[in-house]
Amino acid sequence: GENVEQHPSTLSVQEGDSAVIKCTYSDSASNYFPWYKQELGKRPQLIIDIRSNVGEKKDQRIAVTLNKTAKHFSLHITETQPEDSAVYFCAASSDSGGYQKVTFGTGTKLQVIP
Amino acid sequence: DSGVTQTPKHLITATGQRVTLRCSPRSGDLSVYWYQQSLDQGLQFLIQYYNGEERAKGNILERFSAQQFPDLHSELNLSSLELGDSALYFCASSQRDTLNEQYFGPGTRLTVT
């Protein structure tokens, strides 16, 4: 089955700096890669996603890059703000004849220091 | 608010018991997914339903079962509960059956004593 590794497990950055979270996946059939932000005690919220036919996607301060050959994808947050502090999860999803399986990474706890 | 609702919010029960968690998807969404999140751990995919049919299974124990009803709400049944089943259980919904964004409900916190 799919295996998704996520690094680092914790990340502290100064406000205004950039943060990068990396994930690798094992199943070459995976073709949809969402990122979720989960604040303490709250639900995961989709913040950005990318499909395998795209190499990069950007939404304001957030960007995701995908390298299918190397089977890794990354989340980039620029100009970090204290409200970016949360746990971020990557996920890899494959579609096999209408059957979708989603595998999540183990999460990165991001702390933005004011 | 994602539009996905889950009940109950909290559930405390004893080992060996059986509980049912309920999820109502966003209006128009046909897929429902169930996830388990243990303390300080990531999200484990349990099972997916699409328009009433089971579509994918993840790490779901045999003691757990789920179904999706004609009105598209879903229930997750957990039986013969063990201490290790204590976790947050999330459901999520999406419009289609594959490769699209999922919207999570607020979760049900299950405590088994």
The predicted-structure confidence for A42-78, as pLDDT tens digits, reads as follows 999 999 999 888 899 999 999 999 999 999 999 999 9
Q: What is the pLDDT of residue B52?
A: 94
Distance from the A86 Cα atom to the nearest Cα atom in chain B, whole angstroms: 13
A contact test, residue of B99, B100, B101, B103 with most A CBs within 10 A: B99
pLDDT digits (tens, 9 = 90+) for A2-18: 889 999 999 999 999 99
Residues 13-72 of A with CB under 8 A from B: 31-32, 34, 36, 42-46, 49, 51
**Phi, psi torsion values for A82, nearest 5 degrees:** -55, -35
pLDDT given at position B39: 77
Smallest Cα–Cα separation from A88: which of A18, A16, A28, A23? A23
Contact list in A for residue B45 (CB cut-off 8 A) is 101-104
CA distance A14 to chain B (A): 24
Q: Contact B55/A99, CB-based, under 8 Å?
A: yes
Half-sphere exposure of A87 (CA within 13 A, CB side): 20
pLDDT band at B58 (very low <50, low <70, confident <90, very high): confident
For a pLDDT cut of 90, what percent of chain A falls above it?
Answer: 75
DSSP secondary structure, chain B, as one string: --S-EEE-SEEEE-TT--EEEEEEPPTT--EEEEEEE-TT--EEEEEEEETTEEEEE-S--TTEEEEE-TTS-EEEEE-S--GGG-EEEEEEEESSSSSS--EE---EEEEE-
The pLDDT of residue B67 is: 97
Query: Percent of chain A scored above 70 by pLDDT?
Result: 96
Q: Taking 90 as the threshold, does the pLDDT of residue A113 lie above it? A: yes
Q: Look at residue A1 in the predicted model and tell me its pLDDT.
A: 75
